[in-house]
Each structure stands twice: as structure tokens, then as C-alpha cells.
Amino acid sequence: MNTTVAPESIVAAALIMQFCLSTMMAIATVWIRRQEKSEFRFYQDPPNIGRYAWIVLTAVLATIGLLLFSDEFSNTWRPLSSDITFSFITWRHALFGVFILDIGCTFILISLTGGSYRSPFTPIYFILPAMALFLREEPRRVILYSVGIGMMFVLGLNPTRRSPEEHVTPIGAYAFVSISCLALSVLVGYLTRPR
């Protein structure tokens, strides 16, 4: 039974995790946008949370870029590029950057969609430490992520008040993100389990 996992496998699993997480965020932002259009079609200046999908795109490009150009992952496609290396960051630093960007992006999306209590993106907070464990992050980093997430979650519980006309409860998007986060954590946990 082999319990060691090669760094390039960890980076590849992180890439899959990032793709799935980004897909969930994108679907939820589109879902919110559609709900806003249907519920506020007669308002002169309706809320438009869905317009912030560019935040997800920016996070996707940054995090996937970090993983693709990490030293271990770029070694997998180095034979195609002869002597040219596309390694710009160590894989450990890339993973750290990915989790910090994910936490930051999630905080921004939660802040824009009603705070920790109402946002459909809140469940993402709670799978990130589990993902870090599955991807063999150091325990001190997992603790750092967890403390940061806890502080941001508590800060998000005090959202700015909106007028009653702007009250939208994105129950469908909330349920989708919650179930998707559960499925993703189980999938990555299964794929990266010690053997």
C-alpha cells in the first residue's frame, strides 16, 4: 500500500477541484442573475448581483494559472517544450495562492449576495479547509485558512440592510452550491485518499 502522493498528482487534483469550484460559482451567479431579472423586471433600477461574474472569471484565471505554471505541473508537459521551462512558482506556493484567492473570491461573492447568512456562496467557505486537507496541505496552513474563513464568515453575518424591494432569497442557488460543495469534497477526498 503506497501512502505517498506525487506533487504533480496533488497539483492535478487541485486543478480539477478549482475547475469544479469555479463551475459551481459561475452557475450560481447565472442563477442569481436570472432570478433578479424575473423578480425585478418592473423596477426602474433593479439590483444586479449577477453582473459580478467577472470576479469568478478573474479568480478562475488566476488560480488555474498558478497551478498550470507551478514547477511540478509544468514538468508534466516540459518534454513538449524542449529546454524552455514554464515554471514560475513552486507547487506549494501555488496551492497556498489558490486557497487564499478562493477564500478572497468567496468573501467578495458572499458580501455582494447578502452576507454569510443569506448568500448561496457561504457553503464554499466550509469545504475549503477540507479540500486543503485532501490536497495534503500542511496542518498550519489548514489552520490559517480555517481561522481566516471563520473571521470572514463572522464579518459577513452583519450585512448592509437593503430595502424590502431588493430582498431576493436565492434558495435554488443556495441549495445547488451546498449540494455541489458536498459532492466535490467527497470526490476530491476519494481521489486523494491515502492508499
Residues 6+ apart with CB under 8 A from 17: 131, 135, 184, 188
At 39 the pLDDT is 63
Mean pLDDT value of segment 163-189:
68
At 18 the pLDDT is 92
The DSSP symbol for 154 reads H
**pLDDT tens digits, 18-50:** 999 989 988 888 887 777 766 665 555 555 555
Residue 1 has pLDDT above 50, yes or no: no
pLDDT band at 107 (very low <50, low <70, confident <90, very high): very high
Q: Which residue has the higher pLDDT, 21 or 187?
A: 21
At 64 the pLDDT is 92
**pLDDT tens digits, 118-153:** 888 998 998 898 888 888 888 889 889 988 988 888
Burial 132-144 (b: 16+ CB within 10 A, else e): bbbbbbeeebbeb
**pLDDT tens digits, 51-85:** 667 788 889 899 999 998 998 888 777 777 777 77
Residue 172 has pLDDT above 80, yes or no: no
Query: The cell 496542518 sits on which residue?
Result: 139
Residue 103 has pLDDT above 90, yes or no: yes
Burial 22-40 (b: 16+ CB within 10 A, else e): bebbeebbebbbebbeebb
